[in-house]
Amino acid sequence: MQYETVFILTPVLSDDQAKEAVAKFRKILKDLGANIVHEESWGLRKLAYQIQKKSTGYYHLFEFQATGNAVADLELAFKRDERVLRFMTVALDKHAVSFNERRRTKIKGKKEKESANA
């Protein structure tokens, strides 16, 4: 089954601390036998509403294939880590998977075009 998880880290972290937190969750996924299909860091963004009196947060996305209790174990790790403000995991159906693939190739094409023009 393919899943997509977006999580928000607290903005009080430095860039290195945020990267270390992301690496921790990446390692947890790998240890659970998940195959990470795609990963995006959206950086520091403004939240729609305050969470724990914070108005910004570091957003990160994992798209991965996993079986069994991998999602439950990952979400348990999110709950235990005080650096995580919010997280959401959704199971992707075949339409969402194909949409994500088209979106990635479109973004990749734009980046290649920009680098050729530079």
64 phi and psi, to 5 degrees? -145, 160
Residue with tokens 């089954």: 1
pLDDT tens for each residue of 57-81:
999 999 999 987 899 999 999 999 9
CA distance 52 to 40: 24
Q: Within 10 Å of residue 28's Cβ, how many Cβ atoms?
A: 17
Domain that holds residue 48: 2-117
For the chain, the C-alpha Rg in angstroms (whole number) is 15
For the entire predicted model, the pTM comes to 0.84
Exposed (0-12), middle (13-18) or buried (19+): which is 29, by Cβ within 10 Å?
Answer: buried
Structurally, the chain folds into a number of domains equal to: 1
Which residues are CB-contacts of 75 (< 8 A; sequence separation ≥ 6)? Answer: 87, 89
CA distance 94 to 86: 26
**CATH classification of the domain holding 19:** 3.30.70.60
pLDDT tens for each residue of 16-59:
999 999 999 999 999 999 999 999 999 999 999 999 999 999 99
Which residues are CB-contacts of 108 (< 8 A; sequence separation ≥ 6)? Answer: none
Name the residue among 2, 1, 6 with its Cα closest to residue 89. 6
